[in-house]
Structure 1
Amino acid sequence: MMAKQDYSRVPLVLFALIVVGAGGWFGGVWFANRSAMENMPGMTSAKSMDMPGMSHESKTSGEMTSETMSGKGESTDADKETQSTHAAVMIDPALAKRLGVTVGIVESGPLNMNIQTVGIVQPDETRVNDVYLKTDGWVKDVFVDFTGKRIEKDSKLLSIYSPDFVSIQEEFISAREFASANRRSQLESSLQASALEKLRLLDIPEDEIQRLEQTGKPAKYLTLRSPLSGTVLEKNAFPGQRITSANMLYVVADLSKVWVQAKVYEYELTHVELGQPAIVHISAFPNEAFEGKVIFVQPSLDESSRTTDVRVELSNQDGRIKIGMFADVEIKHDMGTGLLVESAAVIRSGEKDIVFRVKGDKHYEPVAVHISPLKFGNRFQVLDGLAAGDKVVTSANFLLDSESRLRAGGGGAMPGMGGMDMGSGAKGDKEMIGHAH
Structure 2
Amino acid sequence: MGLPDTSPVPKKDSMGMDYIPVYADEASDDAGTVRVSPARMQTLGVRTATVARGTLDAVLRASGRVEIDERAQVVVAPRFEGWIERLHVSAVGDVVRRGQPLLTAWSPALQSAGEEVRIAERLVTASAADPEARAAAARLAEAARARLASLQVAGQAAPRQTLHAPADGIVLERMATQGARFMAGEALFRIADLSRVWVIADVFERDLGRVQVGDRVAVSVDALPGQRLEGRIGYVYPTLDAGTRSTPVRIELDNRAGQLRPGMFATVDFAPGAARERLLLPASALIEDGERQVVLRALGEGRFQPQPVRIGERGREQVEVLDGIAEGDRVVVSANFLIDSESQLRAALAGMGDAPPQDYPSHDTRGVFEEAFDGGVSLSHDAIPALGWPEMTMDFSLAEPALVEGLAPGTPIRFSFEDRGPGEYVVTRIERVEGEHAGH
Fold equivalence (TM over 0.5): yes
CA gap of 1:164–1:402, structure 2 versus 1, over 3 A, is closer
- Of 310-319 and 245-254, deviating more is 310-319
Tell me the CA shift for residue 193 of structure 1. 3.2
CA gap of 1:258–1:186, structure 2 versus 1, over 3 A, is same
SS in 2 for 1:164: helix
Tell me the CA shift for residue 145 of structure 1. 0.8
Q: Deviations over 1:300-348 (max 9, x none)?
A: 4555555554433332122221122222334456386432211123355
Q: Is the 2:292–2:308 Cα contact (8 Å) retained in structure 1?
A: no
Task: Name the residue aligned to 1:198.
Answer: 147
CA gap of 1:351–1:263, structure 2 versus 1, over 3 A, is closer
- Judging by fraction of residues, say which structure has more strand: 2
Task: Name the residue aligned to 2:163.
Answer: 224
Look up the equivalent residue of 2:148 and give its one-letter code: L
Look up the equivalent residue of 1:169 and give its one-letter code: G
Tell me the CA shift for residue 371 of structure 1. 2.9
Q: Deviations over 1:279-303 (max 9, x none)?
A: 3321111212233344445544555
CA gap of 1:403–1:300, structure 2 versus 1, over 3 A, is closer
Equivalent of 1:342, from 253, 277, 282? 282
1:353 partnered with 2:294? yes
SS in 1 for 2:310: strand
Q: Is the 1:106–1:388 Cα contact (8 Å) retained in structure 2?
A: yes
SS in 2 for 1:279: strand
Task: Name the residue aligned to 1:122.
Answer: 67
Q: Deviations over 1:67-87 (max 9, x none)?
A: 998xxxxxxxxxxxxx64326
Task: Name the residue aligned to 1:167.
Answer: 112
CA distance in 1, matches of 2:342, 2:106: 92
SS in 2 for 1:199: helix
Q: Is the 2:280–2:320 Cα contact (8 Å) retained in structure 1?
A: yes
Task: Name the residue aligned to 1:238.
Answer: 177
- Of 103-112 and 339-348, deviating more is 103-112
Equivalent of 2:86, from 121, 131, 141? 141
Matches within 5 A, 1:270-289: 271=210, 273-289=212-228
Equivalent pairs: percent with the same residue? 30
CA-atom RMSD in angstroms: 4.3
Structure 2 residue runs of 5 or longer lacking an equivalent are: 1-24, 349-440
Tell me the CA shift for residue 245 of structure 1. 0.9
CA gap of 1:176–1:111, structure 2 versus 1, over 3 A, is farther
- Judging by fraction of residues, say which structure has more helix: 1
1:107 partnered with 2:53? yes
CA gap of 1:112–1:200, structure 2 versus 1, over 3 A, is farther
CA distance in 1, matches of 2:204, 2:344: 39
Structure 1 residue runs of 5 or longer lacking an equivalent are: 1-64, 70-82, 213-217, 410-437
Taking structure 1 as the reference length, the TM-score comes to 0.59
CA gap of 1:387–1:144, structure 2 versus 1, over 3 A, is same
1:86 partnered with 2:25? no
CA distance in 1, matches of 2:341, 2:182: 81
CA distance in 1, matches of 2:244, 2:343: 44
CA distance in 1, matches of 2:57, 2:241: 29
Tell me the CA shift for residue 226 of structure 1. 1.5
CA distance in 2, matches of 1:231, 1:351: 55
Q: Deviations over 1:200-227 (max 9, x none)?
A: 322224xxx4xx6xxxxx4341111122
Q: Is the 1:159–1:224 Cα contact (8 Å) retained in structure 2?
A: yes
Q: Deviations over 1:68-122 (max 9, x none)?
A: 98xxxxxxxxxxxxx6432688979xx98x96745355223247361423x3322
Aligned positions, number: 319
CA distance in 1, matches of 2:190, 2:308: 59
CA gap of 1:176–1:247, structure 2 versus 1, over 3 A, is same
CA distance in 2, matches of 1:358, 1:375: 26
